[in-house]
Amino acid sequence: MRTPAVSAALRDSLATLYRDLHAHPELSFEETRTASVVAERLARLDGVRVTTGVGGTGVVGELANGDGPHILLRADIDALPVQERTELPYASETAGVMHACGHDVHVVCLLGALELLAGTRDGWSGRVTAVFQPGEEVGGGAQAVIDDGLLAGTTETPDIVLAQHVAPFPAGTVGCHAGPTLAAEDIVKITLYGRGAHGSRPEASVDPVVLAAATVMRLQTVVSREIAGGDTAVLTVGAINAGVRANVIPDEAELKLSIRTFTAQVRERVLAAVERIARAEAAASGADREPLVTLLQSFPALVNDEQATERTAGAFRRHFGELSVFDPGPATGSEDCGVLGTALAAPVCYWFIGGTDPEAYRRAAAEGTTDRDVPANHSSRFAPVVEPTLTTGVEALTTAALTWLAPS
């Protein structure tokens, strides 16, 4: 079956919904309004069974249509603690919270795909499970919906898990890579213990601010000097907190790190180096107490099944054209969607859709300024163009779904 067209009426309806969701973002596991909007929209579709409260605030829609394969389509629904600076007319109305990663795009595209699938059931058979997952940004949402009994009571697990993410590529394009696609992520907190004193008497202290600064600088050598050139790792110190007054040397300092790797061997080496450096710098500073290194969050790399990816990417090329589908290679961003595939023993195919105005992207690429002029995910200026982003996302999900469902 060919992918059904997105009508003008559906396109307008989805655009309105997108602007509404973008203006009302909600943080991880607090997505009550978003979940309500999703559930209400799903309830309008004939034959879709809706379950709410999955994994806390998640929503699952199930569409059965005779015998055939079982596919799982997934979209994340949470926003980030970012103050929006896009100046869009539909910018976030919630101070300090923004859909800076495009999950509002994902929600709308999955709803649109389900509407197309529900309206063309004479052309396919099988079963579709649509998961609107909470809490992706904190890394626990996928596991939460699994722990809450996703697919409990069903007789089969999915044949494939399909998902997508909007990215700072030209809108209208689709990027799909086989094999390791997104990195594993570990979030580490390091608490450094010093000895506080008056700011005028540093000799009476073990200054944790200086200790933290030395630790941050030394951590920069982990990737450059301890990881082989052919391997990949990213270590970012995203937060440093110490002290409250200029004339008071505090007792403690805290670092928070984000670590991205693709293999278990590299991951173990980086984590061991982080702990070794923290302890060594504390000893060099004369700290009375060893630092506390805590793993706050961890989830594995997302690995696209090679055969499933080639099958799905082939369908994309036929639908969108060869020039609109490309291989972006592995990315060092992280996602917990792979947890669904592992827990359900199903292959995963995960791809990207462009969200940047094509002409703006072309100009920036020609000038070599894409890093500066094309806002990326998690930026306060991240603003996917509504079209053709939404239509491409709806068509990509629908095309992928129909590639795996049986023709009727």
The tally of CA atoms less than 13 A away on the side-chain side of residue 171 is 20
Contact residues for 193 (Cβ-Cβ < 8 A; gap 6+)? 208, 251, 252, 282, 287, 288, 289, 290, 291, 292
Pair 121, 47: CB distance under 8 Å: yes
Burial profile 168-180: b = 16 or more Cβ within 10 angstroms, e = fewer? bbbbbbbbbbbeb
Q: Would you call 405 helix, strand, or coil by DSSP?
A: coil
Beta bridge partners of 299: 185
- This prediction's pTM: 0.93
Three-state secondary structure call for residue 303: strand
How many angstroms separate the CA atoms of 194 and 206, rounded? 5
- What pLDDT, on a 0 to 100 scale, did the predictor assign at position 157? 85
CB-facing half-sphere around the CA of 145: CA atoms within 13 A: 33
Q: Helices 8-23 and 32-43, interaxial angle, to 10°?
A: 160
**What does the pLDDT profile of the chain (408 residues) look like in tens digits?**
899 999 999 999 999 999 999 999 999 999 999 999 999 999 999 999 999 999 999 999 999 999 999 999 999 999 999 999 999 999 999 999 999 999 999 999 999 999 999 999 999 999 999 999 999 999 999 999 999 988 765 546 899 999 999 999 999 999 999 999 999 999 999 999 999 999 999 999 999 999 999 999 999 999 999 999 999 999 999 999 999 999 999 999 999 999 999 999 999 999 999 999 999 999 999 999 999 999 998 989 999 999 999 999 999 999 999 999 999 999 999 999 999 999 999 999 999 999 999 999 999 999 999 999 999 999 999 999 999 999 999 999 999 999 999 998
Spatial distance between the Cα atoms of 174 and 326, rounded to a whole number of angstroms: 6
Burial label for 404, CB within 10 Å (0-12, 13-18, 19+), is buried
DSSP state of 254: E
Cβ neighbours for 4, distance < 8 A, ≥ 6 positions apart: 116, 119, 120, 123, 398
What is the rounded CA–CA span in Å between residue 349 and residue 13? 28
User: And the tokens for 301?
Assistant: 């790399």
Name the residue among 199, 197, 196, 180 with its Cα closest to residue 260: 180
Q: How many Å is the Cα radius of gyration of the chain?
A: 23
Residue 100 exposed, middle or buried by CB count within 10 Å (0-12, 13-18, 19+): buried
Identify the CA nearest to 297 among candidates 177, 72, 144, 98. 144
Residue 11 in 3-state DSSP? helix
